[in-house]
């Protein structure tokens, strides 16, 4: 069992200084915040001297592992030569050229690139570009998906009873109980820009598109819903979106801010064999530095060439971020993406081991996910992909076991996100798996 005395004292001080913390989304402080001192590979050390094997992936960006030597050397090399923001968007570099060429090589839809800093920004840029390109005002998004914290994409509650549906409506229908992304202070006008539809509901999608086809600029979605149990779409759903977009000149955009370069070198679109018109990227592809991008059809992105679409941003394409992205992409693409195969092999040992342990302890548990990211779900035992509906997952989910396992794993030195999502990185190895399973055995024995 770990002792977090110093972290707990600092939590008290920190919480007064930072109301809600650096983010109050998907972070919980019941057991005290953890103040980290050092990290290496797949391990983190806190201020009380505890060592953790970590599977939070920093909520996605950490794919090449902590302090990857090649990555650190590349960043140091840049810092030896120049200021990290030397003339962002005023001076350019060979890195700019190489990074874009690599994105074009690996991401099927990518013909041109626009950088920004966060996933939330990239999504807004995709919306603006799509509106400009089509001359239409609305976009479609889906329940269970997350696209950042701006009002027009955050939460809402699908309400099948409303006459003007499918506009999402959150007051009075949305509450913290029925809207996981509920927040006070959200503009109701933001939600009037979009249709919020149930994921996987082909009938509803078709009916909406048929009715509003001349007003819909964009269909934006997570093709693999990593924000909800790594659900894959039901067969035919993505194909239907592609078909409708082609038929009515709507822009199709995959939000690959989690899946981009995490689930494979060609991202989710490579894995699924469906090519959108635009893609938003973020997190993993930059190796840990804040970078995000909209990539896709040159014809759409070219609207920024003549400034008919504005794409500002002080830090866009800043040199340290570009160097980090280049270094991360070089690591990920080497030997035809060999790191993905080895990471998948380590991940399989881990997930097989967790499932076997749960069985041994008589605990119903399933695991579903992709290379690089998966969920464990206590409450139901299944194998492989069975859930493509978040409500179905939630119906089976045993929240108490889910929560206790998270607490007990942390007590055993395994650091994971509370909801059950686990991120792999390429530094995880067999020894980590052994230690994690040893800890899981102890944690599960305390769950009954």
Ligand X SMILES: Cc1ncc(COP(=O)(O)O)c(C=O)c1O
In angstroms, what is the minimal distance from the CB of 282 to ligand X?
Answer: 5
Q: Which stretch binds ligand X (CB under 6 A): 93-101, 119-127, 232-240, 363-371?
A: 119-127
- Asked if residue 372 lies in contact with residue 343, where contact means CB atoms within 8 angstroms, the answer is yes
b/e code 21-38 from CB counts within 10 Å (16+ = b): eeeeeeeeeeebbbbbee
Q: Which is nearer to ligand X, 221 or 245 (CB)?
A: 221
Question: Which residues does 259 contact at the CB level (< 8 Å), separation at least 6?
Answer: 222, 223, 224, 226, 267, 268, 370, 373
Q: Which is nearer to ligand X, 93 or 118 (CB)?
A: 118
In angstroms, what is the minimal distance from the CB of 256 to ligand X?
Answer: 8
Task: Determine phi and psi for 447, rounding to 5 degrees.
Answer: -85, -15
**Does 325 interact with ligand X (rule: CB under 6 A)?**
no
**Does 120 interact with ligand X (rule: CB under 6 A)?**
yes
Q: Which stretch binds ligand X (CB under 6 A): 2-10, 144-152, 324-332, 355-363?
A: 144-152
b/e code 268-288 from CB counts within 10 Å (16+ = b): bbbbbebbbbbbbbbbbbbbb
Count of chain residues binding ligand X (CB under 6 A)? 13
Q: Choose, by CB under 6 A, the member of 54, 201, 255, 389 that binds ligand X.
A: 255
Pattern 276-305, binding to ligand X, x per CB under 6 A? ------x-----------------------
**Does 124 interact with ligand X (rule: CB under 6 A)?**
no
Q: Choose, by CB under 6 A, the member of 27, 118, 302, 441 that binds ligand X.
A: 118
In angstroms, what is the minimal distance from the CB of 249 to ligand X?
Answer: 25
Order of strands across the sheet that contains 251-256: 112-116, 292-296, 278-281, 251-256, 216-221, 138-142, 194-197
Q: Choose, by CB under 6 A, the member of 33, 43, 136, 147 that binds ligand X.
A: 147
- Asked if residue 302 lies in contact with residue 112, where contact means CB atoms within 8 angstroms, the answer is yes
CA 229/CA 68 separation, integer angstroms: 28
**Does 370 interact with ligand X (rule: CB under 6 A)?**
no
- CA distances, 421 to each of 1, 102, 380, 396, 434 (Å): 22, 29, 16, 16, 19
In angstroms, what is the minimal distance from the CB of 263 to ligand X?
Answer: 12
**363, 436, 362, 331: which is closest to 51 by C-alpha?**
436
Nearest residue to the partner ligand X, using Cβ: 119
**Does 27 interact with ligand X (rule: CB under 6 A)?**
no
Q: Choose, by CB under 6 A, the member of 32, 57, 65, 119 that binds ligand X.
A: 119
Helix (H, G, I), strand (E, B) or coil at 278: strand
**Does 324 interact with ligand X (rule: CB under 6 A)?**
no
**Does 379 interact with ligand X (rule: CB under 6 A)?**
no
Pattern 201-240, binding to ligand X, x per CB under 6 A? ---------------------x----x-------------
Q: Which is nearer to ligand X, 124 or 436 (CB)?
A: 124
Task: Determine phi and psi for 438, rounding to 5 degrees.
Answer: -60, -45
Residues that bind ligand X (CB under 6 A): 118-120, 123, 146-148, 222, 227, 255, 257-258, 282
């Amino acid at each position: 069992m770990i002792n977090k005395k110093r972290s707990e004292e600092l939590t008290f001080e920190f919480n007064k200084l930072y109301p809600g913390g650096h983010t109050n989304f998907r972070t919980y402080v019941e057991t005290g915040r953890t103040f980290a001192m050092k990290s290496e590979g797949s391990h983190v050390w806190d201020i009380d001297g505890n060592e953790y094997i970590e599977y939070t992936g920093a909520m996605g960006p950490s794919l090449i592992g902590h302090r990857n030597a090649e990555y650190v050397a590349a960043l140091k090399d840049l810092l030896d030569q120049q200021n990290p923001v030397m003339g962002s968007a005023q001076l350019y570099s060979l890195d700019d050229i190489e990074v874009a060429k690599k994105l074009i090589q690996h991401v099927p839809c990518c013909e041109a690139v626009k950088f920004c800093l966060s996933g939330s920004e990239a999504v807004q840029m995709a919306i603006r570009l799509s509106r400009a390109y089509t001359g239409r005002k609305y976009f479609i998004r889906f329940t269970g998906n997350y696209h950042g914290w701006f009002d027009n994409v955050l939460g809402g509650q699908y309400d099948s009873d409303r006459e003007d549906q499918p506009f999402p409506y959150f007051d009075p229908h949305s509450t913290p109980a029925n809207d996981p992304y509920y927040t006070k202070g959200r503009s109701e006008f933001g939600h009037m820009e979009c249709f919020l539809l149930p994921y996987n509901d082909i009938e509803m999608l078709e009916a909406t598109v048929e009715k509003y086809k001349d007003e819909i600029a964009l269909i934006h979605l997570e093709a693999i819903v990593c924000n909800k149990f790594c659900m894959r779409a039901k067969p035919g759903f993505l194909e239907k979106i592609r078909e409708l977009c082609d038929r009515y000149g709507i822009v199709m955009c995959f939000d690959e801010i989690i899946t981009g370069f995490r689930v494979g070198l060609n991202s989710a679109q490579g894995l699924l064999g469906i090519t959108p018109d635009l893609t938003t990227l973020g997190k993993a592809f930059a190796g840990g530095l804040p970078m995000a991008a909209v990539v896709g059809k040159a014809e759409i992105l070219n609207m920024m060439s003549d400034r008919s679409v504005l794409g500002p941003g002080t830090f866009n394409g800043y040199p340290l971020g570009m160097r980090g992205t280049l270094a991360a992409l070089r690591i990920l693409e080497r030997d035809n993406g060999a790191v993905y195969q080895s990471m998948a092999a380590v991940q399989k040992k881990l997930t097989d081991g967790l499932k076997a342990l749960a069985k041994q302890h008589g605990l119903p548990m399933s695991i579903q996910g992709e290379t690089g990211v998966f969920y464990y779900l206590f409450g139901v035992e299944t194998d492989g992909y069975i859930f493509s509906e978040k409500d179905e997952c939630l119906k089976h989910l045993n929240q108490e076991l889910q929560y206790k396992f998270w607490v007990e794993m942390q007590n055993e030195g395994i650091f994971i996100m509370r909801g059950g999502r686990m991120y792999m990185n390429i530094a995880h190895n067999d020894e980590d798996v052994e230690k994690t399973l040893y800890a899981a055995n102890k944690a599960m024995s305390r769950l009954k």
